[in-house]
Structure 1
């Protein structure tokens, strides 16, 4: 018997013990030459390489989705069967995988073990951290094939595409209204129930959704986080900034900059800074209220390799 002298776990083979010891040492000797990622096991590297090759040898016999591993396919099939064998012991929610249950439990514990090395923000999952880091780099690798818009995550692209398709898969069971996202449906249902779970800690006013509360609080703080980089004007909401940009005065300033229209590169820089501010403010709300991301991870296991 081969026993780990750190945690006393037993293994039948010495090679298994060697692999296990890397959990304690942090050693990752297997390197991907295409992206620089490192792995503790060779088989994990082989699976990872399929991201670069696009190879997905495992296909679902009930839909057209394909997967890089048989485990991912097995987990995906739970969507068709409706099976959710993992349940939370603090609430009634159930999940298709143990990893999703682990992530969910952090809502109750408040644990956020993943931290950004460029700012002080912390996150409950590594995928949320990866998405957040794109705010600092202004990287938006997911692009819409019907317009020029780009997005930080595959799930946000999927939500956007529903603007073009008009798809509204979430319907209210009390009226005939349909919605493009589950979070919008949840907010709508509060019209019927009268529920307003978000309250202002300054004036005690209550609201049906978190974003409205956030905007309301700016009345008390005087905060105007949305700014025009050309006019140096500041606004409390992104919609007010958008309205300003369409004003005659703003367009005149835009055209008069050095007697020429700014280059696309300078405009991109301006837009990038504005997106940074906007997404920094709304980021926590997006992460907390993005059920599609959770479902897509349930479908595809790896949220950074969106199975479209």
Structure 2
């Protein structure tokens, strides 16, 4: 079944019509004459499926919009035929085959118009242009959603948290944060994802595909977004500013996570202990505390770790590497965190305070030890 642009089922929530009426509505391929109870005849356009109740000469006039010198316009040609409950099942022409095949990839479609839109994936054709910024789109509905970037319109609201979105699909994807729904599964390892785009990126881990190359250092990436974000490490570009404090970020996702510091939003909940997190990575790593999973293993000594960054630091025990240097005394450290803790010896900073007696400490570990005094 062909879905709406936002991924929803156009008939969900509506009373289902008789099966043959569905076929009539969804598969209007041929020029079919249908007798209506009034005795009137209806003609179906064999290109777009539009129904005309007048004589066949009207159909000839209509079909001129499909001539080769006219661009395909889904606003004209993709409108579904209105249901006519006066049609009886024995008077409907039942044509259920997908008669239109893409001559490039072979995918089959029940509407010629839908196939024509699909072919734009191969041809790169984008006939719908934004009259404000000039950006082009393959479908009219994509342009409609894009224009809301300029107008600020966000007509779709999450009925759980009230957050608003410029597209229905964006709202639907967002709601999976609340529901935990992950409908897209990797057929190799079984990992589930809330968005199909994330599944596609994940699959490249298994295939080893890295189609995108940094033209500065040659590093390869599985997806274009990763490569573009990486290039900002060379250029220093930080195009995403926080509109609350002004801090800029090289990744949009980093900026959005940062903003939660201001709003206090913690949308990710551990379903075992209830602890809340700012971002998805935090909850994924946290859950390993409950499961005992330590997926990152040192190939030298076999010690396992919760996160890859801990493994990276640990390896320096074997290599002797100490890449972080104190800019006050020159002492070197194997981890950045150790160097920052050391610098508090010079600065006198003690950011960790006992909430019982107020005593301050330079390390959180020392604070935890101190708190045991109050528990005795």
Q: Which of 160, 165, 168 is the matching residue for 1:34?
A: 160
Give the alignment of 1:203-218 within 5 angstroms: 203-218=329-344
1:143 aligns with 2:270: yes
* Cα distance change of structure 1 residues 148 and 4 upon mapping to structure 2, 3 Å threshold: closer
Unmatched 5+ residue regions in structure 1? 253-308
Give the aligned partner of residue 229 of structure 1: 355
Could you tell me how far 1:184 is from its partner in structure 2? 1.4
Supply the RMSD in Å over aligned alpha carbons. 3.4
Q: Which of 301, 304, 310 is the matching residue for 1:184?
A: 310
| 1: CA distance, partners of 2:144 / 2:274 | 49
| 2: CA distance, partners of 1:4 / 1:69 | 26
Give the aligned partner of residue 200 of structure 1: 326
| 1: CA distance, partners of 2:369 / 2:165 | 49
Give the aligned partner of residue 228 of structure 2: 102
1:84 aligns with 2:222: no
1:22 aligns with 2:148: yes
Instruction: Give CA deviations for 1:86-124 in whole Å, capped at 9, x if unaligned.
Output: 233334543322223333333334444445566565444
* Cα distance change of structure 1 residues 77 and 129 upon mapping to structure 2, 3 Å threshold: same
State whether residues 212 and 224 of structure 2, in contact with CA within 8 Å, keep that contact through their aligned partners in structure 1.
yes
Give the aligned partner of residue 65 of structure 1: 191
Q: 196-205 vs 95-104, which deviates more?
A: 95-104
State whether residues 142 and 154 of structure 1, in contact with CA within 8 Å, keep that contact through their aligned partners in structure 2.
no
TM-score, structure 2 normalization: 0.55
Give the aligned partner of residue 370 of structure 2: 244
Instruction: Give CA deviations for 1:182-210 in whole Å, capped at 9, x if unaligned.
Output: 11111122233322211111112221110
| 1: CA distance, partners of 2:170 / 2:284 | 28
Give the alignment of 1:146-185 within 5 angstroms: 150-185=276-311
**How many residues end up aligned between the 2 structures?**
249
State whether residues 210 and 222 of structure 2, in contact with CA within 8 Å, keep that contact through their aligned partners in structure 1.
yes
Q: 120-129 vs 237-246, which deviates more?
A: 120-129
- Structure 1 residue runs of 4+, over 6 Å off? none
TM-score, structure 1 normalization: 0.65
State whether residues 270 and 287 of structure 2, in contact with CA within 8 Å, keep that contact through their aligned partners in structure 1.
no
| 1: CA distance, partners of 2:342 / 2:131 | 57
| Structure ranking higher in helix proportion | 1
State whether residues 197 and 209 of structure 1, in contact with CA within 8 Å, keep that contact through their aligned partners in structure 2.
yes
State whether residues 177 and 268 of structure 2, in contact with CA within 8 Å, keep that contact through their aligned partners in structure 1.
no
Q: Which has the higher contact order (CA 8 A, sep 6+)?
A: 1
